[in-house]
Copies of this chain bind each other. A is one copy, B any other.
Amino acid sequence: MIHGVIMAGGSGTRFWPMSRKKNPKQLLSLTGSQSMIQETFGRLAASIPPQRIYVVTNAEQTAGVLEHLPQVPRANIVSEPCSRNTAACIGLAALRIAAQDPNGTMVVLPADSYIDRADAFLDVLNTACAAAETAGTIVIFGIPPTFAATGYGYIQRGRQIVETNGVKLFDVLRFREKPDQLKAAEFLESGEYYWNSGSFVWKVSTIMEAFAEFMPELHSALGRIAAALGTPRETEVIAAEYERLPNVSIDYGVMESARNVKVIEATYGWDDVGSWRSIENLRRRDADGNVVDGNHIAIDATNCTIIGEGKHLIAAVGVDDLVIVHTPDATLVCRKDRAQDVKKIVDHLAELGLHEYL
């Protein structure tokens, strides 16, 4: 059987002031009327029943996740005691699934990516699952690059393995870390590279064997956690093991070493919604190039992203290329090409001890 895992541990500081510790990016409706986690859930729920969909999150966000996904059983919301990157997160989810269905297959998706066509995603998912189930393959979703991005890892493809319903699966030649501008341009030009979107499909047994081979420390910790699952010591054991776990991504810990990794070519549009700047690509712009949401008046304002809420009115006069976001207790005004630096505000607030705004 196929199981879905949504990784929802991110804090999304780059969407401050809308994203907060208790209301992170995945709980925001940044790209449509649903929150990002609801959209991700909807994509999985098209082919997987909610009883087999898991969410890995943290204590601070559990209440929000439950509220956004009432269809998911409470027991399927897995709460990490602290953040230890994607390998640990995936390991914890794999344990839960293995306890129910040791022969099962798992799809792992970040909660906070944007995908434009649900039907195309479903075709890719089906082909990926078939490959993972029949050949014990680790399948990674590769996004054909649309520009020379320096913010993503890249995957160089090898030989084509199969094409099903127009969906192509390739061998992986190698993984490349986030490149500089020159390398990124080369990758784009060659047509052989994909962005690593952090989405995967594998059998539970496949990923567990990979942990045993490439991340033995994590594997044995997972073994100790497995023994405590369902006992009164569960929470305590998870907390103790997590404390000592290495902070390693699944890409670095497993993907770059494993031999049976294939890349499946996404036929849908994708965006990691990495900052306020992303929003302009994912929403309709008005005639002046503005993306607006909420009560506003714009006079000679162009190419701005203006987001308010409720009855609060935002008036913009003579400004260009700004991001303006109003929330009840904080307002952001940021030059669009500095959207990455919104994170610095959050860092600064933390330094100042102004936790009420975090």
Contacts and interface: CB of A to CB of B under 8 A. Distances in A.
How many copies altogether? 2
Contacts of A300: 338, 341
A345 interface: yes
A355 interface: no
A20 interface: no
A311 B334 CA distance: 20
B314 A345 contact: no
A108 B160 CA distance: 88
Contacts of A75: none
Contacts of A43: none
B314 A344 contact: no
A153 B14 CA distance: 50
A5 interface: no
A314 B333 contact: yes
A342 interface: yes
Contact of A317 (B297, B313, B335): B335
Contact of A297 (B318, B328, B329, B349): B349
Nearest to A324: B333
A341 to B, nearest CB: 5
Contacts of A332: 315, 317
Given A318-B334, A319-B333, A319-B334, A344 B313 contact: no
A159 interface: no
A115 interface: no
Contact of A338 (B312, B317, B333, B335): B317
A12 B354 CA distance: 35
Given A315-B17, A330-B315, A299 B335 contact: no
Closest 5 CB pairs of A and B: A318-B338, A318-B335, A317-B334, A313-B330, A315-B345
Given A297-B345, A299-B348, 16 more contacts: A17-B315, A297-B348, A300-B341, A313-B354, A314-B331, A315-B331, A315-B333, A315-B342, A317-B333, A317-B341, A317-B342, A317-B344, A319-B335, A324-B331, A324-B333, A333-B333
